[in-house]
């Protein structure tokens, strides 16, 4: 069964190039390395949707980290308050 | 007959002896038999159990009298197949869980049973309440009773479809990013995501602990209020459960909206390409109805939806990965295509990403609280267009909807129908309230329901 880096520990860079931009390549490799480190095997025939999801999540991570850095939110306490029921 | 009665009408008819529980359950089962080979709302139907329970309810009523029986006594309901029902599988619509048998009822199921409800069975969901619709799972996806070619929304797809099809007046759903309100909106039923912590999640398979909410989908706002009255309350077995007083949700339903300050969040979606002109006209009509009833309409600006969705998705990726990592390692091919593609994303979310998402969430929740300094509730969109067809539905991420924000902030939010589109598909709006102010959210939703005339809307006629 053909698999992603879960088996090989390396991405198929040929396959990635037309799906994500060059700037995302390093991060995508990070996802594939993380999957390999977690010993998670994703069949190649399922990688199309994995890559699509990945590009969306990458943008969202960048958005959040950018806001937290620029707005100085990094000191915000993160413990969930149960008495309020919410956050 | 029974499916046209509201829950309170059923209860009155049962008390007076005009109808028996067995009749109500048989009517529900007949309707399911006639329709569910096409709708696929149920993944598991407990016919004999339900009939036996109904007969037992009728016997109890004869022997003990009807005066002191609980509110749902002898009334059929159904639950999403992520809720535990003792002795039955909780499959989560997944191959991974086909052999799982629950040892005890979920906290919310127990509350329904304590109130006398008869649980007919389990309802379809997106796999693990995540992404869908999918055709590579052990059960087919539920379909929209208003048009079988269209999706019912999700992940509480079976709950929305079952209530819309008239199987039951009340079903349980769960909501991590819109999974109660979106199927409610697209199926033409009412769906309430209560305040985070309001309804127990004990015995409900989690997706993301700090985003998961449980709540009712029902045919009417009154049915929803009755359902919430039964479900609401502290459960120490759920670490996120809130020990807050429970209001009387039914007694204030029909007070109306005169004098209320209602924030209108039209600017949040009016410019988006996904927002249909027909929905926008429907939204404006709903706003005008409330204004005509002497509500004070105030324009408000809510926290940015893109930021809310980003926060929600990063938190969901991290928390759901922690839940599923073991099975992702050992049984990846047992997940459906969509579910697998989403769950593995968590492997690349760092602790910094997760903590920054939590920090920004706190900021977004505070911003939402500030909005409520100017208004009592907010009127906004939940879905921006009618249900997509199966052929163009894609995965839930691309849906025209704005429901995620209030899972992120934890505020209570309800979807209430406003009418049918020119294509005959339901449209809805969303009412959002302050923490634990479900009573006011329900009251405004009830006003919209009355003003829209939706309460007289007959059940959809199924295509053959």
Q: Do B197 and A80 touch, CB atoms closer than 8 A? A: no
* Phi and psi angles of residue B430, each rounded to the nearest 5 degrees, phi first: -120, 135
List the Cα angle B123/B126/B129 in 5-degree steps.
95
Q: CA-CA distance, B254 to B447, in Å (whole number)?
A: 7
Q: CA-CA distance, B407 to B311, in Å (whole number)?
A: 10
Please state which CATH number belongs to domain B2-305+359-456: 3.90.1300.10
Interface predicted TM-score of the whole assembly (ipTM), two decimals: 0.89
What confidence tens digit (pLDDT) does each residue in B206-257 have? 999 999 999 999 999 999 999 999 999 999 999 999 999 999 999 999 999 9
Q: Do B161 and B152 touch, CB atoms closer than 8 A? A: yes
The pLDDT of residue B329 is above 50 = yes
What confidence tens digit (pLDDT) does each residue in B299-312 have? 999 999 999 999 99
What confidence tens digit (pLDDT) does each residue in B401-422 have? 999 999 999 999 999 999 999 9
Q: Which of residues 14-73 of A touch B (CB under 8 A)?
A: 27, 30-31, 34-35, 37-43, 46, 49-50, 52-54, 56-57, 59-61, 63-65, 67-68, 71, 73
Is residue A59 a part of any domain in this protein?
yes
Mean pLDDT of chain B: 96
CA distance B347 to chain A (A): 6
Q: Where do the H-state alpha helices sit in A18-46?
A: 22-37
The predicted pLDDT at position B227 comes to: 98
Q: CA-CA distance, B252 to B135, in Å (whole number)?
A: 44
Q: What are the E-state strand segments in B340-457?
A: 377-380, 413-420, 426-433
Q: Which residues contact B88 (CB under 8 A, 6 or more apart)?
A: B44, B46, B101, B102, B122
What are the chain A neighbours of B342 within 8 Å (beta carbons)? 53
Q: Which of residues 186-215 of B touch A (CB under 8 A)?
A: 195-198, 210
What confidence tens digit (pLDDT) does each residue in B271-308 have? 999 999 999 999 999 999 999 999 999 999 999 999 99
Q: CA-CA distance, B109 to B308, in Å (whole number)?
A: 31
What confidence tens digit (pLDDT) does each residue in A2-55 have? 444 333 333 333 333 333 445 456 677 888 888 999 899 888 888 888 988 998
Beta pairing class for B426-433 and B413-420: antiparallel
The pLDDT of residue B360 is above 50 = yes
Is residue A16 a part of any domain in this protein?
yes
Is this model's pTM higher than 0.90 or not?
Answer: yes
Is residue A31 a part of any domain in this protein?
yes
What are the chain B neighbours of A56 within 8 Å (beta carbons)? 313, 397
Are residues B332 and A39, on separate chains, in Cβ contact within 8 Å? no
Domain region containing A9: 5-70
Number of domains composing chain A: 1
Q: CA-CA distance, B264 to B298, in Å (whole number)?
A: 6
């Amino acid at each position: 069964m053909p698999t992603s880096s879960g088996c090989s520990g390396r991405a198929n860079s040929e396959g990635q190039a037309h799906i994500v931009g060059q700037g995302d390549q390093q991060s995508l490799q990070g996802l594939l390395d993380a999957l390999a480190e977690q010993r998670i095997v994703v069949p190649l025939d399922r990688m199309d949707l994995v890559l699509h999801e990945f590009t969306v999540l990458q943008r969202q991570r960048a958005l959040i980290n950018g806001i937290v850095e620029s707005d100085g939110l990094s000191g915000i306490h993160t413990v969930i308050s149960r008495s309020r029921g919410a956050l | 007959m029974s499916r046209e009665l509201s829950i309170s009408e059923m209860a009155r008819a049962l008390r007076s002896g005009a109808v028996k529980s067995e009749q109500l359950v048989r009517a529900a089962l007949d309707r399911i038999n006639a329709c569910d080979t096409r709708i696929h709302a149920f993944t598991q139907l407990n016919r004999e159990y339900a009939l036996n329970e109904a007969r037992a309810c009728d016997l109890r009523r004869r022997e003990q009298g009807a005066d002191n029986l609980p509110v749902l006594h002898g009334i059929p309901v159904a639950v999403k197949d992520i809720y535990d029902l003792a002795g039955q599988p909780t499959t989560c619509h997944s191959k991974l869980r086909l052999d799982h048998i629950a040892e005890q009822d979920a906290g919310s199921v127990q509350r329904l049973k304590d109130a006398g409800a008869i649980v007919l069975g389990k309802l379809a969901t997106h796999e693990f309440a995540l992404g869908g619709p999918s055709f590579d799972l052990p059960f087919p996806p539920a379909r929209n009773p208003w048009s079988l070619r269209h999706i019912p929304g999700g992940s509480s797809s079976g709950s929305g479809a079952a209530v819309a099809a008239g199987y039951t007046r009340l079903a349980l759903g769960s909501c991590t990013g819109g999974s109660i309100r979106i199927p409610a909106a697209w199926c033409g039923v009412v769906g309430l995501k209560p305040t985070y912590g309001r309804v127990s999640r004990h015995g409900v398979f989690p997706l993301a602990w700090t985003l998961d909410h449980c709540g009712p989908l029902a045919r009417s706002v009154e049915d929803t209020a009755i359902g919430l009255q039964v479900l609401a309350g502290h459960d120490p077995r759920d670490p996120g459960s809130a020990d807050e007083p429970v209001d009387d949700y039914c007694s204030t339903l029909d007070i109306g909206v005169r004098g209320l300050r209602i924030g209108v969040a039209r600017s949040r979606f009016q410019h988006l390409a996904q927002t249909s002109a027909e929905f926008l006209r429907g939204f404006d009509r709903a706003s005008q109805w409330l204004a005509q009833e002497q509500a004070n309409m105030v324009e408000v600006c809510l926290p940015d939806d893109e930021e809310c969705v980003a926060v929600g998705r990063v938190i969901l990726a991290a928390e759901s990965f922690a839940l599923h990592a073991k099975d992702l390692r050992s049984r990846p091919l047992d997940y459906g295509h969509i579910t697998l593609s989403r769950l593995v994303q968590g492997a690349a979310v760092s602790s910094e990403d997760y903590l920054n998402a939590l920090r920004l969430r706190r900021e977004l929740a505070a911003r939402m609280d500030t909005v409520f300094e100017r208004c009592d509730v907010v009127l906004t969109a939940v879905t921006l267009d009618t249900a997509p067809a199966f052929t163009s539905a894609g995965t839930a991420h691309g849906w025209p909807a704005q429901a995620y924000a209030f899972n992120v902030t934890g505020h209570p939010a309800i979807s209430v129908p406003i009418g049918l589109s020119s294509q005959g598909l339901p449209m809805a709006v969303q009412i959002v309230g302050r923490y634990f102010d479900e009573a006011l959210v329900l009251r405004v939703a009830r006003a919209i329901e009355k003003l829209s005339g939706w309460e007289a809307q007959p059940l959809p006629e199924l295509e053959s």
